[in-house]
Structure 1
Amino acid sequence: MSKANEIKLVVIGDGAVGKTSLLSVLKGEPFPERYVPTVFDNYALDVTHNNKPYRLHIWDTAGQDEFDRLRPLSYQDAKVILICFELDKRASFSNLSDRWIAEVNYFCKEVKMILVGCKADLREQSNESVSDEEALAFAKQHGGIPYIATSARTGLNVDKVFPTAIDITSIKKKGCELI
């Protein structure tokens, strides 16, 4: 496999928004029914997209404040950042600009981003949910980054995450280089 077909993908967002659950389902594992906080995890996953093989180097990061100083170390050589938030809780959506977009722009301004709304299946049960219209407006306001509403529990749009990540790497923009 050529180096051109290797993509480092870093997953960020507040703690407990569903990052690890999403990745578990993407790896073909069952939905985890129990929450276990992630500190840091990385692995390679081979996928095929448009009849081409790709190796995704996936870095699952911790969203808790106590890991703010360590998380930027995972950005080195990243091609795509998945910024995850909860669709059923407005607080994680509120942190997107001031915390997550700001962090990515500070450490790797040129990297491509995808906005991933998690827990779409819980939206109807919440009085503080985020609509797709709000998320799309946010994505447009931040450079037209792609937005995907997902549910790891039901599988909603989970199959769109990796193809979108692969597709946007063909758009000419540098990856993340820490200096």
Structure 2
Amino acid sequence: MDDPPEVTILLLGDAEVGKSTFLSRIIKGSPGDASKESINPLRDGDQPFELDIRFHDRPYRLKFYDTASPENWTLLDPNVVVLCYDISSRPSLVNIKNRWIKETHRAFGHRSDLPILLLGLKRDLRSKTDPNGTIHLEEAYRIAQETRCDKYMECSAMTGELLHVAFGDLCRTAAMTTTAKGGLSDGGCLVM
């Protein structure tokens, strides 16, 4: 039996936006348990974080890299880039526009086939924080369109809200990168 196709997924964004918690919940967490204790921390030294999945009855090996430091990822050749921000932190979304999208284009601008996704994390904090600092869905989607991201997704790793939907969309994009069509969206950003 052949080895499953490997797909490299690079998560980028400011420190503390929730990238590691998202990955921990997906890779090690208990799917139905929303308690903080069910989220086992991942260690940076263990990267890439690997996960074998089946999608449309085909096996895939997903290799996740999680970093907030360009020195750690500019030598990678990812199949998918996921730009992550904290829904309760306006500066983290501003940095998507002012830093992360630019660095992504600088490092991978030669790749016209590279899907770039925008992922809002900590959705559970949207209603619990200062309304002036919280990013609402419409604004996030607009930023995703302006930065020419292929998809916009959001979730909460703590509560599990939309976690499986976001991960399913991420898997769908990852799987599509192994096909002739590729993982780019048709005609602009999709809200997932």
Q: TM-score, normalised by structure 2?
A: 0.76
* 8 Å Cα contact 2:50/2:61 also seen in 1: yes
Relative to structure 1, is the Cα distance of residues 107 and 52 closer, same or farther in structure 2, using a 3 angstrom cutoff? same
Residue 57 in structure 1 maps to residue 63 in structure 2: yes
* 8 Å Cα contact 1:89/1:126 also seen in 2: no
SS at match of 2:138: helix
Query: Equivalents in 2 of 1:57, 1:37: separation in Å?
Result: 14
* 8 Å Cα contact 1:16/1:37 also seen in 2: no
Report matched runs for 1:1-179 at 5 Å: 5-29=5-29, 39=44, 41-61=47-67, 63=68, 67-73=69-75, 76-109=76-109, 110=111, 111-127=114-130, 128-169=133-174, 170=176, 171-172=181-182
Query: Equivalents in 2 of 1:7, 1:69: separation in Å?
Result: 21
Q: Deviations over 1:50-100 (max 9, x none)?
A: 221110011111x2xxx3333323xx2200011100000101000011111
SS at match of 2:91: helix
Query: Equivalents in 1 of 2:107, 2:73: separation in Å?
Result: 10
Query: Equivalents in 1 of 2:95, 2:19: separation in Å?
Result: 15
Shift in Å, 1:120: 0.5
Query: Equivalents in 1 of 2:81, 2:72: separation in Å?
Result: 16
* 8 Å Cα contact 2:121/2:155 also seen in 1: yes
* 8 Å Cα contact 1:46/1:54 also seen in 2: yes
Could you list the runs of 5+ residues in structure 1 that have no partner in the other structure?
Answer: 175-179
* 8 Å Cα contact 1:14/1:85 also seen in 2: yes
SS at match of 2:59: strand
Q: How many residues align?
A: 168
Relative to structure 1, is the Cα distance of residues 54 and 17 closer, same or farther in structure 2, using a 3 angstrom cutoff? same
Q: TM-score, normalised by structure 1?
A: 0.81
Matched residue type, 1:71: W
Could you list the runs of 5+ residues in structure 2 that have no partner in the other structure?
Answer: 185-192
* 8 Å Cα contact 1:152/1:158 also seen in 2: yes
Q: Percent identity?
A: 27
SS at match of 1:134: helix
